[in-house]
Amino acid sequence: MSELLTIGEVARRSGVATSALRYYDERGLITSQRAGSGHRRYQRPVLRRIAFIVFAQRVGLTLDDIASELEKLPDNRVPSRRDWSRLSATWTARIDARIAELELLKSGLTRCIGCGCLSLDRCQLTNPGDRAAGLGPGPAYWMGNL
């Protein structure tokens, strides 16, 4: 197996479209080398960076946030397990918050969330006349504006 991977090989292994890989490359999230033909070639450790990018996006980070996180990794060598561990250590709270948010979403699908629609029978009991509007914009009960 070659040390350098083609963009197609990286796309197949990572599950990320080649267009996204080019975009990540342009944004500086990943780096490639150019072959004599001008084609991109990637070192195998780029696969972990791509996996990190995909995971971070699923957690809700923007590409700017991800770039800031990736800047914490060393430039002069391939990141070690310890480097990745340090980077991800602060994520527990963020992931826990996201889980709580998703649990609220899951439970709120069938009850009044204070959004003002008043379309559910339950809204007449917990939000008569849209009194939740006084708590602020959006789904007030859902957002914890009680």
Please give the structure tokens belonging to residue 47: 């696969």
42 found inside a domain: yes
Q: Is the whole-model pTM more than 0.85?
A: no
Per-residue pLDDT in tens (0 to 9) along the chain, 146 residues = 458 999 999 999 999 999 999 999 999 999 999 878 888 999 998 998 999 899 889 888 899 999 998 888 887 778 888 888 888 887 788 888 888 888 888 877 788 888 888 888 888 888 898 988 899 888 888 777 66
Residues spanned by the domain of 14: 4-91
CATH number of residue 39's parent domain: 1.10.1660.10
Per the structure, how many domains does the chain have?
A: 1
Order of strands, edge to edge, in the sheet holding 4-6? Answer: 4-6, 40-43, 33-34
125 found inside a domain: no
53 found inside a domain: yes
70 found inside a domain: yes
35 found inside a domain: yes
